[in-house]
Amino acid sequence: MLRTKPPFRADHAGSLLRPQKISEARAKFARQQISADELRRIEDMEIEKLVHKQSAIGLQVATDGELRRQSWHLDFFAGLNGCELYHSAARQPDERPDAVRVVGTIDFPEDHPVLEEFRVLQRHAGIAHVTPKLTIPSPVMLHFYVGRAGTSPQAYPQLDGLLHDLAKAYRKAVRALYDAGCRYLQFDDTVWADLCSPDVVQQMRERGDNPDQLPQLYSRIINYAIAERPADMVITTHVCRSDGGSSSWLAAGGYEPIAETLFARTNYDGYLLEYAEGAGGFAPLRFLPRGPKVAMIGAIAAQDGELESKDDLKRKLQEAAQFVPLEQLALAPQSGFAFGEQSTPLSEQAQWDKLRLAVEVAQEVWGR
């Protein structure tokens, strides 16, 4: 039967294609042709439309499509005390910053923009009778990608201090979001996919890191961050592999190297897992403990406009059910449909067709 609480049988990663009106408004704002208030008004209107569209196609969950974000992860990190954005060597000074570094003590401020983002989403979701879902980057991403080179030695002489403050900041964020009304929160995380990739793991060894220790370390950080969530708050993760809009992948490799730590020892309520070329089979799901945890099988391509066969999707769910009960499974697209301001090559119609397909298959597999 369908689930009445998240994760839902048909779910999705969160980001949606940016409507043309948003792109046009952002371009006008960059040219100082409209004010920040006018840009926000347009964003609010487009978010309202997206929420109602998600409801109309049968989804029980709705996100704001991440329409306000220039980057799927940098915006959140930029809102933390102690972080700042900057231009990497690949960017020109007149372009938007594309990297983050740690310059001071990490903390979650009471006025972080994500709180107001959620309140707007919640208001529209309540009218549309769907559960609002908020997505933010995982705390371990900042440590993994910034590392020693991107962390001020004055702020953190030892990186252990950075990890400690990150975990505390995210615990504050979870509490603040709960108080704002959030009951469904997703941590987006590319790190676990990197730790599945033999090539990435080898690169880490060559630069002097020890990737063998990171899964256990990161599991502890995440568990601390979410340890005090109230019983009626669901926190899941999306293990991201796709690379920001192309048809290639950031990290290839099956989930086996991290499966036991991620599924059995990390206290998420659910896992949205990208299953595409290079992601391996479903055998690692055997580590998912029997009980309330849910594995969302990301088997619908978000970067390919061709609509999947219902029979093929049902077959994949049955293959996964050889390792974990069908009642602990759900269906979703592999990834989001956009990466901040960069969209996948799909048309809006293809996006909605794929989300509707997830709903229809879920109803046929688990009932209405």
Is the overall model pTM greater than 0.85, yes or no? Answer: yes
Segment 50-104, tens digit of pLDDT: 999 999 999 999 999 999 988 778 989 999 999 999 887 665 555 678 889 999 9
Hunting for tokens 């989403």 — which residue is that? 121
- Is the pLDDT confidence value at 342 over 70? no
Sorted by where each begins, the domain ranges of the chain are 20-366
With a pLDDT cut of 70, the percent of the chain lying above it is 93
Alpha-carbon gap, residue 215 to 261, rounded angstroms: 7
Beta-bridged to residue 81, according to DSSP, are: 107
Segment 318-332, tens digit of pLDDT: 999 999 999 999 999
Q: Which segment of 119-128, 218-227, 240-249, 336-345 scores lowest on mean pLDDT?
A: 240-249
Six token digits for residue 80: 């933390």
Per-residue pLDDT at 341: 65
Closest Cα to residue 356, out of 3, 1, 10? 10
Six token digits for residue 59: 């989804």
Alpha-carbon gap, residue 330 to 8, rounded angstroms: 7
CATH architecture of the domain covering 20-366: Alpha-Beta Barrel (3.20)
Per-residue pLDDT at 249: 42
Alpha-carbon gap, residue 210 to 206, rounded angstroms: 9
Segment 264-308, tens digit of pLDDT: 999 999 999 999 766 789 999 999 999 999 999 999 998 888 999
